[in-house]
Amino acid sequence: MSAAVVLVSGGLDSCVTAALARKAGHDLLFLHVNYGQRTEARERLALADLADWFVIPEADRLVCDARHLAVIGGSSLTDSSIPVSHADLRTTEIPSSYVPFRNANILSIAVSWAEVRKAERIYIGAVYEDSSGYPDCRPAYFEAFNRVIRLGTAAANIRIETPIIHMSKAEIVLSGLALGAPLHLTWSCYQAEDTACGVCDSCALRLRGFARAGVEDPIEYALRRSYE
Amino acid sequence: MSAAVVLVSGGLDSCVTAALARKAGHDLLFLHVNYGQRTEARERLALADLADWFVIPEADRLVCDARHLAVIGGSSLTDSSIPVSHADLRTTEIPSSYVPFRNANILSIAVSWAEVRKAERIYIGAVYEDSSGYPDCRPAYFEAFNRVIRLGTAAANIRIETPIIHMSKAEIVLSGLALGAPLHLTWSCYQAEDTACGVCDSCALRLRGFARAGVEDPIEYALRRSYE
């Protein structure tokens, strides 16, 4: 079984994705990308906690810098002059937290590392149906990216895996619990770094997921709103 | 006519590509990516000279950092422990200067910037037939990447242009001269930063291109070898 690069933001989705990659039998390489997101310091703490929990050797952890995405701007996640929108889970518009073409920047780094480390899989915790509606989370997008990898690498045997893409947040929570994944170590809030705000898109999706799973979210919230 | 992001390394190919993008009527946005290549300081000087020559406003110039590619390694271009191979223009092997999945890293940055700046074209001076044989320079690779852009951006109207991909180096030289492009300001050497070495892959391709075009290369070489 080959090694797999796992994209680990430090959030719920990447934690469950890492647990699924391990269950599939891969040696895990943890990659985290700092793209100048507001909550990077808190994400990095979650990442370290997760990497320790999964017992990832230091040589198999990599933190990369893509802060050009913050310089380029265009997103409330990286530009403090754009407010983080409060969740409206009914809208179909792309939210202000969309970072233009972020996932391609992150996946490209992952493929470069996979090619050098001879890893054949890249795991990313993208979610589509029950998500914020980012264009770069669609299944067809990842299929197209796999074609770019086949054509654009010397190895040509590297493939992206999106094991939770069709899951609802409730299913992700239940899957994580079934795998014994350390959900209490994860960080999802887009806005705060001390206590999760409970009102941003990401908190809202997470809280609704736990509520629908019938499980209490183990982390603390400033405002534990109820989303059904 | 929309704006176009032009990927400008500072070399011959990107200089001619910029001239072709301008001829097509676009406002030009110059993007340079530092991925920890050996000759970055010299490339940056060529970039500044070219940007001044093309009269690109400061706000339309962007230098981004992708030095994670040097950390990840796997290439003689970024890892000083791997020797830069001397040119063997007959081989069909991928040379040691191949940086794993480099172009996807660079193009992803370009697409992010294009999306925020509402540019609809990305110009890259990739060359295929008469090149070093990198997998991420094939026409099919760029077609596949265009599909990723269509699926993965909110704008969905951004497209990569590769105007010199089917040209020989001699044709690129002649095209540059016909456009009045400032070939004397460009830097192509992979190895040296004071005087071009004349023996690395990149110098060899360039010298052979000028020779076949029947024109003297205006830059200086430590060893002006003859490649026919």
Backbone φ, ψ for residue B180 (5° rounding): 70, 25
Predicted TM-score (pTM) of the model is 0.92
Show Cβ contacts of residue A98 under 8 Å, excluding neighbours closer than 6 positions. Answer: A75, A132, A134, A135, B154
A111:B100 CB<8 A: yes
B74:A152 CB<8 A: no
Between A86 and B27, the higher pLDDT residue: B27
| CA-wise closest residue to B87 among B175, B212, B221, B207 | B207
| Average confidence score pLDDT of chain B | 92
Q: How far B115 CA lies from chain A's nearest CA (Å)? A: 6
**A118 token code pair:** 């001879």
B74:A115 CB<8 A: yes
Confidence of residue A212 (pLDDT cuts 50, 70, 90): very high
Q: How far A178 CA lies from chain B's nearest CA (Å)? A: 32
pLDDT of A82: 78
What chain B residue is nearest to A116 in terms of C-alpha separation? B74
Could you give the CA distance from residue A166 to residue A70 in angstroms, rounded to a whole number? 29
pLDDT at A36 over 90: no
**Assigned CATH topology for domain A3-213:** Rossmann fold (3.40.50)
pLDDT at A130 over 90: no
Neighboring chain B residues of A105 at a CB cutoff of 8 Å: 105, 108-109, 112
Could you give the CA distance from residue B93 to residue A208 in angstroms, rounded to a whole number? 53
Q: Where are the alpha helices (DSSP H) in chain A?
A: 12-23, 40-53, 68-72, 102-117, 139-152, 169-179, 201-213
A108:B111 CB<8 A: no
Between A73 and B211, the higher pLDDT residue: B211
Q: How far B23 CA lies from chain A's nearest CA (Å)? A: 26
**pLDDT tens digits for range B160-176:** 999 999 999 999 999 99
pLDDT of B99: 86
Q: What is the mean pLDDT of residues B32-55?
A: 94
**pLDDT tens digits for range B75-95:** 888 877 777 766 666 666 788
Neighboring chain A residues of B140 at a CB cutoff of 8 Å: 151
Question: What number of C-beta contacts closer than 8 Å exist between A and B?
Answer: 139
Show Cβ contacts of residue B37 under 8 Å, excluding neighbours closer than 6 positions. Answer: B43, B70, B77, B78, B99, B190
Q: How far A62 CA lies from chain B's nearest CA (Å)? A: 9
**pLDDT tens digits for range A11-29:** 999 999 999 999 999 999 9
**Assigned CATH topology for domain B3-181:** Rossmann fold (3.40.50)
